[in-house]
Structure 1
Amino acid sequence: MPIQAPIPDRTPRLQLRRITKRYPGCLANDAIDLTIAPGEIHALLGENGAGKSTLMKIIYGVTQADTGEMIWQGQQVVMRNPGQARELGIGMVFQHFSLFETLSVAQNIALAMGGASGTPKQLEPKIREVSRRYGMALEPERLVHSLSIGERQRVEIIRCLMQDIKLLILDEPTSVLTPQEADDLFVTLRRLAAEGCSVLFISHKLGEVRALCHSATVLRGGRVAGHCIPAECSDQQLARLMVGEAAELMTDYPKVEGGDVFLDVSGLSWTNPDPFGCSLKDLDLAVRCGEIVGIAGVAGNGQDELLALLSGEERLRRSDRDIIRFSAQPVAHLRPDARRKLGLAFVPAERLGHGAVPDLSLADNALLTAFQQGLVSNGLIQRGKVEALAEEIIRRFGVKTPDTQTPARSLSGGNLQKFILGREILQRPKLLVAAHPTWGVDVGAAAVIHRALINLRDAGAAILVISEDLDELFQISDRLGALCGGRLSPLRPTADTRLIDVGGWMAGQFDASSSPAPATV
């Protein structure tokens, strides 16, 4: 669809003038100027840690600038809190979710919209209608803690779309959406823009930016590095503006066959006690040493359940222990620490709270899963070794942080992801299970992560990647499959698989009875 020019208006919707924000050891925003017109879809680009999220939080009132001015529809304002921002007509979808897990979808949305919008029960019909209209199905009565990561993202988006907004801020909104869901969202955003709503759009998916956005501002190191019209740029040109050098950002990695089977899942059926969850049905899966197997699928189709059963967070009965095996050894009954001793490393889908403890330092977060790597002796923590490991992760994976004592929550999403993945890879696992390894990560960081996964594969590890980014799966996977309704499609060599094939599997268009048995050597 051609990108239409924004609605002409002499008064900008939003102007930022020399916005500056400093944190201890970090100048997050350095005299930033930004102007957004009514009806404009404006992209904000930059590496992880470039200052994008901080700037968005200043606009939304989550934090306040140290110096600078904010002009809203011609009037200077001081945004003191998100409630004031919402009253002015500003809505924001955060990269890290801001939901109460023990409340329902409707209760969360009601809290965000205020008492005048009605009770949660009164909002339920509108939630269903809006979610259907935008192709993001939600059940309003479901508790948030029972939702997958993709479904939680939908709550954030629907919560904003139900408000009468004049500026919609989207921080990586499509990270966990399927291509069709993203297309549906773009239709909505274009309609909102045509009606005069402004959109501030952060995404590391450069194809999205080029297809959707009228203009873009690029941040680098907390400062404005340049402006461009995305539709007139290639992905490589946008990448150069963001990271300075785009060489090898989209490497075409060779495909391999792998060796002996390390992870062997045979006939896994598991009934989810959560009535809103997904049960697994007769699932067969084999991952060989020295290969990457990619699993696609729409959120909520069994990914979380499979991850929990592989990591040991959910266990089967001892009588069913043979259903999951590591190098022919039964593990389905073992706890996570016992599985780690056998060579498992695990990167969960949710960074904060699951992959890392937000208030702990990076050094302490390194210790959490690597304590079996000689970091504890006779019950005593070897602080020197812990610090050395954290420093090595930061150095080798390019994590932008002042030091190892920085709390995990203070890192940008992409830098925290690099730290978590580096922590797991440096344990030299025999099996790495990674969920959404580059969710919310810029092109430069994604290249670092992909190269690290390929190097681990080439060192002989078995790797299982569960992701909703089909481009990523085709780029790094040696074999591909998809989950739908708790069933797993056939696994095929990536070189012999088309995008349309995976799309069909994601919609359940496969015959489980014809799926080949897991390959063995």
Structure 2
Amino acid sequence: MHQQVLPPRLALTGIVKRYGSMLANNDVTLSVAAGEIHALLGENGAGKSTLMKIVYGVVKPDAGEIAWEGEPVAIPDPNAARRLGIGMVFQHFSLFETLTVAENIALGLGSTRPLAELTAEIRAVAAQYGLAVEPGRHVHHLSVGERQRVEILRCLLQRPKLLIMDEPTSVLTPQEADGLFVMLRRLAAEGCSVLYISHKLEEIRALCTAATVLRAGQVVARRDPRIETAESLAEMMIGGGLTHTSRPAAREAGPPSLVVDRLTLPSDEPFGTALRGIAFELRAGEILGIAGVAGNGQKELLAALAGERRAPAGSILLDDRPIGGFGPAERRARGLHFIPEERLGRGAVAEYSLAENALLTRVDDTTAPRGLIDLKTVAALAARLIQRYGVRCSGTAAQGRSLSGGNMQKFIVGREIDAGPRVLLAAHPTWGVDIGAALAIRQALIDLAAGGAGVLVVSEDLDELLEIADRIAVLSGGRLSPPVPVGETSVEAIGLLMGGAEQVAHAPAA
């Protein structure tokens, strides 16, 4: 007796999507079996997000067919996708900022249940999977990492047959990521399919049983990631050999560039995190990494250092001069530059051209002599940044919204580095960007430090911090652990600190 062969849970055939002259998806064919954890790989701009939006009903394909459990279907909108059993965790969030977490989840589920009942279930699922979120908190107060947790929770509450996850571990400690993997494997064993997008290739190799690689909108490879190396997967994505970050020979760091002593700052919103006695030195020529799970005071610390908020207690010195009373523009004029975690909205303006975005933090005697903006100089600045940092775009007149996340991030990073800062604050500099863009950004930060600047990097990506940082500290509950050299700690020890354990950062490296 022959065993019945089940059709794929999802099958895409010949999917085409154009935006004007740009071909985002070009004859894409993809199938995902029931209970399969399937990776979708590609650089920023390769067409992954467009393809997933087609599956979720956000975007309509120009050509091609979609089959669900063997039957042709049309997915005109996300409600139709959810009725089929498709859930999606977006990298770029679809949340209403003026509503609470629970209200957003209720809207996403189309739920008519009493809010108190739904809130109790949110708390239970959040506790089950280690996704700490306060259901009564308004979204506009949440960090980027916390917003992603809301998206994950909203999806899990749908009990989906196909779960699409876009960079879900970027806000988790290693221990929490392991817990998420356990959960995904359990879902897969119960028959749920998972489409998994991540730029963490070792994560793909450990979790996924199949992978489809996109490049320039086309499928270029189908592989079993378990038998590939991270480097071979990366080379398929970029279509060539992979370059690696290089660091100059070890040398002594210079004198302190930024000194923070007993910095204390109450939260300005109900569920925020107060800073309590933050103290550290950032030396000239070094990269200091600050790790921590989102929501532990990173947003408040960066606001205090960048001048967006004034701390009532403690001191901040830049090159031995107090700057605690200065605002962002005054601090920038003295050599302190800032790369915020939100690319569009804080780092750049979606409706502005790249030339206009270049000017946002670069108004000086060069770009605006005698107070008048020199448009030719500004355009030349934008062109230089595009060329130097390999920004893929149509030119200096391209709107910010037209760039992929990785290219917008390279432009913002390049703009701040090009200013020649004495100190650079970088919040999650490679969050959600592809491996090629991440390598370029990390190398730019390394080169900046090698030139004598002090670089402070706040990130949840421990592999990144251990690769580029000279010393590392952990922010947990508004308190900062003492910075230690990266060679004297380990991922496990840092992960425990991120989870709120006592100071164990000096545990020997594995």
The partner residue of 1:187 within 167, 173, 182 is 182
Residue identity matched to 1:53: S
2:359: which partner in 1? 367
Cα offset, 1:243, TM superposition:
1.4
The partner residue of 1:506 within 498, 502, 510 is 498
Q: Summarize the Cα distance change of 1:78–1:390 in structure 2 as closer, same or farther, 3 Å threshold.
A: farther
Q: Summarize the Cα distance change of 1:122–1:475 in structure 2 as closer, same or farther, 3 Å threshold.
A: same
Residue identity matched to 2:229: S
How do 1:87-102 residues align onto structure 2 when only pairs under 5 Å count? 87-102=83-98
Distance 2:503 2:439 in 1: 35
1:203: which partner in 2? 198
Distance 1:8 1:470 in 2: 45
> Deviations for 1:141-172, whole angstroms, at most 9, x for unmatched residues?
11112222211111000000000311111111
For the 8 Å contact 1:20–1:29, the answer to whether it is kept is yes
2:440: which partner in 1? 448
Q: Summarize the Cα distance change of 1:494–1:283 in structure 2 as closer, same or farther, 3 Å threshold.
A: same
> Deviations for 1:313-353, whole angstroms, at most 9, x for unmatched residues?
11135xx6x70111111111111011100011111112222
Cα offset, 1:10, TM superposition:
2.2
Distance 2:446 2:456 in 1: 12
The partner residue of 1:26 within 22, 45, 54 is 22
1:392 and 2:388 aligned: no
How do 1:177-256 residues align onto structure 2 when only pairs under 5 Å count? 177-249=172-244, 251=246, 255-256=250-251
1:163: which partner in 2? 158
Q: Summarize the Cα distance change of 1:214–1:339 in structure 2 as closer, same or farther, 3 Å threshold.
A: same
> Deviations for 1:157-188, whole angstroms, at most 9, x for unmatched residues?
00000003111111111112211121111111
Cα offset, 1:9, TM superposition:
4.7
For the 8 Å contact 2:245–2:442, the answer to whether it is kept is no
Q: SS at the partner of 1:323?
A: strand
Q: Summarize the Cα distance change of 1:89–1:357 in structure 2 as closer, same or farther, 3 Å threshold.
A: same
Distance 1:485 1:336 in 2: 25
1:10: which partner in 2? 6
Distance 1:195 1:296 in 2: 35
> Deviations for 1:194-252, whole angstroms, at most 9, x for unmatched residues?
11111111100001100111100001111111110000111111111111234333657
2:62: which partner in 1? 66
Identity of aligned residues (%): 55
Q: Which segment is superposed worse, 75-84 or 94-103?
A: 75-84
How do 1:30-45 residues align onto structure 2 when only pairs under 5 Å count? 30-45=26-41
Q: Summarize the Cα distance change of 1:250–1:338 in structure 2 as closer, same or farther, 3 Å threshold.
A: closer
1:472: which partner in 2? 464
Q: TM-score, normalised by structure 2?
A: 0.95
Q: Summarize the Cα distance change of 1:250–1:205 in structure 2 as closer, same or farther, 3 Å threshold.
A: farther
For the 8 Å contact 1:361–1:406, the answer to whether it is kept is yes
1:433 and 2:425 aligned: yes
Q: Is there any run of 5+ residues in structure 1 with no aligned partner, and where?
A: 1-6, 516-521
Distance 1:196 1:254 in 2: 51
Q: Is there any run of 5+ residues in structure 2 with no aligned partner, and where?
A: none
1:459 and 2:454 aligned: no
The partner residue of 2:269 within 274, 282, 291 is 274
1:401 and 2:401 aligned: no
Distance 1:268 1:478 in 2: 23
Q: SS at the partner of 1:35?
A: strand
Q: SS at the partner of 1:153?
A: helix
Q: SS at the partner of 2:361?
A: helix
Q: SS at the partner of 1:406?
A: coil
For the 8 Å contact 2:497–2:503, the answer to whether it is kept is no
2:344: which partner in 1? 352
2:42: which partner in 1? 46
Distance 1:147 1:253 in 2: 38
Distance 1:87 1:415 in 2: 35
Cα offset, 1:109, TM superposition:
0.2
Q: Which segment is superposed worse, 208-217 or 169-178?
A: 169-178
2:405: which partner in 1? 413
2:317: which partner in 1? 325
Distance 1:252 1:380 in 2: 40
Q: Summarize the Cα distance change of 1:380–1:82 in structure 2 as closer, same or farther, 3 Å threshold.
A: farther
Distance 2:311 2:330 in 1: 14
For the 8 Å contact 1:253–1:476, the answer to whether it is kept is no
Cα offset, 1:364, TM superposition:
1.6
How do 1:279-318 residues align onto structure 2 when only pairs under 5 Å count? 279-316=274-311
Residue identity matched to 1:435: A
> Deviations for 1:53-106, whole angstroms, at most 9, x for unmatched residues?
111111111111111111222222222221211121111111111111111000
Q: Summarize the Cα distance change of 1:27–1:125 in structure 2 as closer, same or farther, 3 Å threshold.
A: same
Q: Summarize the Cα distance change of 1:8–1:316 in structure 2 as closer, same or farther, 3 Å threshold.
A: farther
Q: SS at the partner of 2:64?
A: strand
Distance 2:226 2:39 in 1: 11
For the 8 Å contact 1:249–1:444, the answer to whether it is kept is no
For the 8 Å contact 2:280–2:482, the answer to whether it is kept is no
Q: SS at the partner of 1:27?
A: strand
Q: Which segment is superposed worse, 100-109 or 347-356?
A: 347-356
Cα offset, 1:11, TM superposition:
1.0
> Deviations for 1:272-296, whole angstroms, at most 9, x for unmatched residues?
1323111111111111111100011
Q: Summarize the Cα distance change of 1:264–1:122 in structure 2 as closer, same or farther, 3 Å threshold.
A: same
Distance 1:352 1:339 in 2: 22
Distance 1:406 1:78 in 2: 33
Residue identity matched to 1:377: P
> Deviations for 1:477-517, whole angstroms, at most 9, x for unmatched residues?
011111111111111122223333323432444469x99xx
Distance 1:276 1:176 in 2: 18
1:136 and 2:131 aligned: yes
Distance 1:410 1:87 in 2: 31
2:260: which partner in 1? 265
- How many residues are matched? 504
> Deviations for 1:427-475, whole angstroms, at most 9, x for unmatched residues?
1111100011111111111111111111111111110001111111111
1:149: which partner in 2? 144
Q: SS at the partner of 1:370?
A: coil
Distance 2:475 2:90 in 1: 27
Cα offset, 1:407, TM superposition:
2.2
For the 8 Å contact 1:481–1:505, the answer to whether it is kept is no
For the 8 Å contact 1:176–1:439, the answer to whether it is kept is no
Distance 2:350 2:155 in 1: 26
Distance 1:352 1:196 in 2: 38
Q: Summarize the Cα distance change of 1:124–1:45 in structure 2 as closer, same or farther, 3 Å threshold.
A: same
